[in-house]
Amino acid sequence: MAPLRYPVRFMSCTPTKNEHRYCTSLANEIEVKWQQAWDETNINKVGNPNDVNFDISKPKFYCLDMFPYPSGAGLHVGHPVGYIGSDILSRFKRMQGFNVLHPMGWDAFGLPAEQYAIETGVHPAKTTRKAIDTFRGQLKRIGFSYDWSREFATIDPDYYKWTQWIWLKAYDSWFDEEKQKALPVSDLVSGLEQKKISCGDTPWNALTQTQQDEFIDSKRLAYLGEYTVNWCPKLGTVLANEEVVDGRSERGGHPVVRRSMRQWMFRITAYADRLLYDLKGLDWPESTLRMQKDWIGRSEGADIDFLIDGCDKTIRVYTTRPDTLFGATFMVLAPEHPFVESIKTPEVQAYVEEARNRSDVDRMADSKEKTGVDTGKFAINPANGAKIPIWIADYVLMGYGHGAIMAVPAHDDRDHAFATAHSIQIVEVVQPDEPCEGCFASEGVAVNSASEVVSINGQQTAEAKQTIIDWLKTSGFGFGKVNYRLRDWLFSRQRYWGEPFPIVFDANGKHYPISETSLPVELPTIDDYTPPVSDEPQPLLAKAESWVHTTAGEAGVDASLLSPDTPVRREVNTMPGWAGSCWYELRYCSPSCETRFVDKEAESYWMGNGVDMYIGGAEHAVRHLLYTRFWQKMLFDLGEVSSNEPFKKLFHQGLLTSFAFQRSDKTLVPTTEVEEKDGKYVEKITGEEVNQIIAKMSKSLKNVVNPDDVIAEYGADTLRLYEMYMGPLEASAPWNTHDIVGVHRFLQRVWRLGIEEETGELRACLNSEPNEDVERSLHKTIAKVTGDIPQLAYNTAIASMIEFVNSATNAGCITTSQLQQFIRILSPFAPHISQELFARLGEDSFVCSSQWPSFDEAMLTASTIELPVQIMGKVRGKIEVPAEATSEEVENAALADERVKECLEGLTVRKIIVVPGKIINIVAN
C-alpha cells in the first residue's frame, strides 16, 4: 500500500551530522538570526517627509497589501501568496533607491469574534488581540519587510476615533449636483438662506424649524433611511439575504420577518457617475473594472408617467426602451409599491403578504415561474390612450427604478413570460432586421407605433427612442433619464463588535452629532453577549443601558446644539465590517498622528497619486474597492486628502487551492480519510474509489496546509520561493507538497556555490578568474529578473535564476563578485539565505539595503547565433551565422547548408523569408 502523497510531508534532508549543509536546521537557524537582527536595527522602518534623515528627493513607492481579518485559526499557506508578492516588489524598489511604504495591519472588527463571545462570554477584543498576535508572529517568521512601527488594528480606539470622525464629516456634508461634489452642510444652509438653492415650493424662511431640519437631513451624505431587512426575532439579529432560507434563518431555522427599519445610509449613489467615469484612469485588472461598471449599472432611458383610469393619480415607470411604448400592454408594480396599499381586494392582499416574507434570494430562485395578481385597475398608455391592466408581481423589484414598469411582452423576455402565463395581449412594435425566433429584445425598426399625438413608425431604435423622449418632454408625460443599479449603502449593523456611531437622539427622535473633541465613542463592555430576544429589532448594544441612556453633555454633544443636561439615547447600531477598511491606506501614512486622521504632508507624499501597488484577492473586486473609492472622493471633495482615487494600480493574486477528494455522488471526503492504492485514491473506510479534485483550502475538507509546518520542514525562504514559483501570481494553482523540494534543492545549490559543505568555509575558487559563460549568463539573468519583478512575473524570474545557478554549477566556478551580484537579485525572493551569504562574503551591511545590480546590454547578445532553417514551415536544419550578418548572407549560408541542400533536391525554390535573428523559411515545391 503506497503512502498517501498528500498531506504527508517529506523531509528535505535526512538528519545529518554535517552542519554546513543548507538543510532544515541550518535554514531555520539563519532565518531566526537575521529576523532578529532586522528587528533590532529597524531596518524596514521608513520615515516621513518631516523626519530627520528622510531623503525627500528619492521617489516614493507605496506598496500595500489588503490587510487580513485575523481569524482564530491562524494563517494557512494561501494567505501569504499576495504578501510574498508585495514583499518582493517592496524589497526590489528599496534596492532601486525608492522610499518604500510597506505596512501591515488588521481588519479586526468582525462577526466570528462576536459569535465566539455569544458562545463563550469571552470579550471579542480579547479573542481578536490573541488572533492578531498569532498572525503577526506567523507573518514575521516568513521574513516580510513590513514597517511594523506603522501597524494598527481597526479596533484600536485611536484608529476608530477617526473612522467615526470621517463618518461625522459625511453626516455634515451634502452633494451638490451642479458642482458634482460634496460640500459642508453649512454651505447648503447659507445657499438656502440666500435663495441660491431652492428647497421646493415653499421658500426656506417660510419653513418651520422641523421642516428645515428634515430638508437638511434629506440631503446629508450620511443619512437615516428606511430599509427593508430580514429580522430574526429569535436570534435578535438582522440576517443577510443568503442567511435566509424559505423564510427561516439558515442557522437554527427560526422564523424571519422582512420589515422596514430606519438605518444609517450613505448616499453613494450621488457619486455613481464619478465612480464610473474615474475607472478610466486606473491601472486595474480589466475584469475588476468590468465588475465595478456592472455594479454601478448605468443605463439610459426615460421616466414615463401613466395616468390611472378613474382617478387623477399617476404611476411613474422607468424604461430603457421608450421606443416600445406602443407595445406596453400592461403595467406591473412591485408588491411594495405605494399604490398597492390602496387596493384592498383579498387576492392582492394575500399576494403582497406572501411576497413580503419571501427574501430576494427566494424570489429570484424560481425566476422561471412568474407569479402575479391582477389589480383590476387600469393605466392609460399616454402614447395611444389605450387602457392597460395593472398587475402586481414580485419579478418587479421595488429597489430599482420606481418599482413599477410598463410591460412590453413582445420585446422583453420577462414580460413575455409573464404575459404568456397570464394570457395577456402581446403587440409587436419592433421589427428585427433579420427574422428571429422567440421574443425579440434587441434593436430594429419601429412598427405599429403611431397615434394622433406621436408616430415613430419606420424609425430605427435609437432614433425612435429620441423621438419618444422629445415627445414625452413636450407633452409633459415624462423625460429622458439616466438610471443606476447602484443603491445607497446601508451602513447600520445590529451588532456589538463594530464602531459605534458618534450620534445621539433626543426624546423626539431628533439626532445630534457628538463633537469631534469627544471622540472616540468607545464601545461599552457588556457582561452577557446573548442577543436580546425581541419582536422589535434591538441590537446587542442596547443591553448596555447605562451607556445608552445618558445626557447630551456626557455624550459630548456641542452645548450650542443641545443643552448639556438633556437626556439622550445613544445610537445602538454599529458600523459594518467595511468601515475600518475604507480608509486604512490613508492612516498608514501617519498611524500615530493625534491631531488629524492623517498628517497632511505625509498623506500628500505617500498618497500623492494613490497607492502605487495594491495587492489583494479578487473577492474584494467590487464592494471594498467601491466603498473605499467613495470615501476617498468624499474626503477629496472636502479638501482632506490630495488624491481623487485611492489605488492607482491594483493586482489580484490567484487563489491557492489544494487537493480534495470526492465520492462518485460528489460528496467530499476529508483528505485524511483517503489513501492511495495502485495509483488510485480510495476512501479508507469503504475502500471505494474517490476522485481527486482541486478545491479551496478549507477546514471542512481537511486540506489546509499551515505555513508554520512548511517552514519547520524547509525554512521560510523555501516557502516563499515555492509559492512564487507555482505559476503566475494572478493564477490559481494547487498546493503540491511534492514540488517544494525542487526550490529547496535550488537554494542548496546556491549555498554550495559559495560554501564548502565539508568545512563551512568559503569555496577557494571564488578568487579565480571570471568565466566568460558564467558572466554572460549572470548579465542575462539580472536583465531577466529586473524586467520580470515590476510585472510580478516571479515564476519566470525564479526559473531564470535556477538556470543561472545550474550553469554556474556546471562551470565549476564563480567569482566572489559574480556570486555577490547574484545574491542581491535573489535577496527579494529569499532574503535570509541571501543575507547570510552576503555576510559570509565579507559585507558588513544588509543585503536588503544594497544597490540593485546593473547589467551590460552588450553581454546579452552572443557574437554568433544559431538560426533554424525551415523548408515549407518545417525545421530541416540549423546554421551558425555572425550576429550582425545581413539577410543576404544569412540566405546564402542557409542555401549552402548540406542538410538544406539535401532536402531541397528536386524542388524549385520560390521564395526565401529571412526574419533577422529569428528564422529562415524557404518556400519550395
CA–CA distance, 44 with 360 (Å, rounded to integer): 49
Task: Considering only the stretches 91-99, 637-645, 888-896, 916-924, report the one whose residues sit in contact with RNA under the rule CB under 7 A.
Answer: 916-924
Q: Which long-range contacts (CB under 8 A, 24 or more apart) does 51-54 make?
A: 54/99
According to CB under 7 A, which residues from 485 to 514 bind RNA?
485
In the complex, minimum distance from the CB of residue 419 to RNA, in angstroms, rounded to a whole number = 12
The strand ranges marked E within 687-825 are 691-696, 733-734
In the complex, minimum distance from the CB of residue 14 to RNA, in angstroms, rounded to a whole number = 4
Looking at residue 194, the DSSP 8-state letter turns out to be: T
CA–CA distance, 667 with 690 (Å, rounded to integer): 10
Binding mask 806-845 for RNA (x = CB under 7 A): x--xx-----------------------------------
- Helix/strand/coil (H, E, C) string of 323-385? HHHHHCCEEEECCCCHHHHHCCCHHHHHHHHHHHCCCHHHHHHCCCCCCCEEEEEEEECCCCC
CA–CA distance, 520 with 157 (Å, rounded to integer): 6
Tell me whether residue 426 is exposed, middle or buried, using C-beta atoms within 10 angstroms of its C-beta: 0 to 12, 13 to 18, 19 or more: middle
What 3-state DSSP class applies to 163? helix
Task: Considering only the stretches 197-205, 585-593, 803-811, 821-829, report the one whose residues sit in contact with RNA under the rule CB under 7 A.
Answer: 803-811
Nearest CB to RNA, comparing residues 412 and 713: 412
254 touches RNA (CB under 7 A): no
In the complex, minimum distance from the CB of residue 13 to RNA, in angstroms, rounded to a whole number = 5
Size of the site for RNA (CB under 7 A): 89
According to CB under 7 A, which residues from 709 to 768 bind RNA?
725-728, 731-734, 736, 738-739, 741-743, 745-746, 748-749
In the complex, minimum distance from the CB of residue 761 to RNA, in angstroms, rounded to a whole number = 18
In the complex, minimum distance from the CB of residue 395 to RNA, in angstroms, rounded to a whole number = 3
In the complex, minimum distance from the CB of residue 443 to RNA, in angstroms, rounded to a whole number = 14
According to CB under 7 A, which residues from 769 to 798 bind RNA?
784, 787, 793, 795-796, 798
In the complex, minimum distance from the CB of residue 63 to RNA, in angstroms, rounded to a whole number = 22
The amino acid occupying position 410 is A
Nearest CB to RNA, comparing residues 129 and 749: 749
In the complex, minimum distance from the CB of residue 902 to RNA, in angstroms, rounded to a whole number = 9
483 touches RNA (CB under 7 A): yes
The strand ranges marked E within 440-502 are 445-446, 478-483, 489-490
According to CB under 7 A, which residues from 608 to 637 bind RNA?
618-619, 621-622
240 touches RNA (CB under 7 A): no
According to CB under 7 A, which residues from 376 to 395 bind RNA?
394-395
874 touches RNA (CB under 7 A): yes
What 3-state DSSP class applies to 549? strand
Q: Which residue has 519547520 as its cell numbers?
A: 712
According to CB under 7 A, which residues from 394 to 413 bind RNA?
394-397, 399-401, 403, 405-406, 408, 412
**CA distances (Å), origin 419, targets 289, 324, 343, 461:** 37, 16, 22, 23
What sign does the dihedral 712-716-720-722 (CA atoms) show? negative
In the complex, minimum distance from the CB of residue 866 to RNA, in angstroms, rounded to a whole number = 5
Nearest CB to RNA, comparing residues 415 and 637: 415
Nearest CB to RNA, comparing residues 767 and 806: 806
Binding mask 291-320 for RNA (x = CB under 7 A): x--x--x-x-x----------------xxx
CA–CA distance, 155 with 161 (Å, rounded to integer): 10
In the complex, minimum distance from the CB of residue 745 to RNA, in angstroms, rounded to a whole number = 4
What's the full length of the chain, in residues?
925
In the complex, minimum distance from the CB of residue 228 to RNA, in angstroms, rounded to a whole number = 13
482 touches RNA (CB under 7 A): no
Cell numbers that stand for 474 in this block = 413636450
Instruction: Pick from 435, 476, 873, 906 the residue near RNA by CB under 7 A.
Output: 873
In the complex, minimum distance from the CB of residue 815 to RNA, in angstroms, rounded to a whole number = 19
Nearest CB to RNA, comparing residues 37 and 365: 365
Nearest CB to RNA, comparing residues 475 and 736: 736
**CA distances (Å), origin 308, targets 181, 387, 566, 608, 892:** 38, 9, 49, 56, 89
In the complex, minimum distance from the CB of residue 446 to RNA, in angstroms, rounded to a whole number = 16
According to CB under 7 A, which residues from 414 to 433 bind RNA?
414
279 touches RNA (CB under 7 A): no
CA–CA distance, 31 with 16 (Å, rounded to integer): 19
CA–CA distance, 669 with 660 (Å, rounded to integer): 7
Given its phi and psi angles, is residue 888 left (phi above 0), alpha (psi -120 to 50 degrees) or beta? alpha
According to CB under 7 A, which residues from 2 to 41 bind RNA?
11, 13-14, 16
Nearest CB to RNA, comparing residues 213 and 889: 889
According to CB under 7 A, which residues from 512 to 531 bind RNA?
none
CA–CA distance, 920 with 887 (Å, rounded to integer): 9
Cell numbers that stand for 337 in this block = 409599491
According to CB under 7 A, which residues from 333 to 372 bind RNA?
334, 360, 363-364, 366-367, 370
122 touches RNA (CB under 7 A): no
Nearest CB to RNA, comparing residues 247 and 728: 728
The amino acid occupying position 833 is I
CA–CA distance, 91 with 843 (Å, rounded to integer): 18
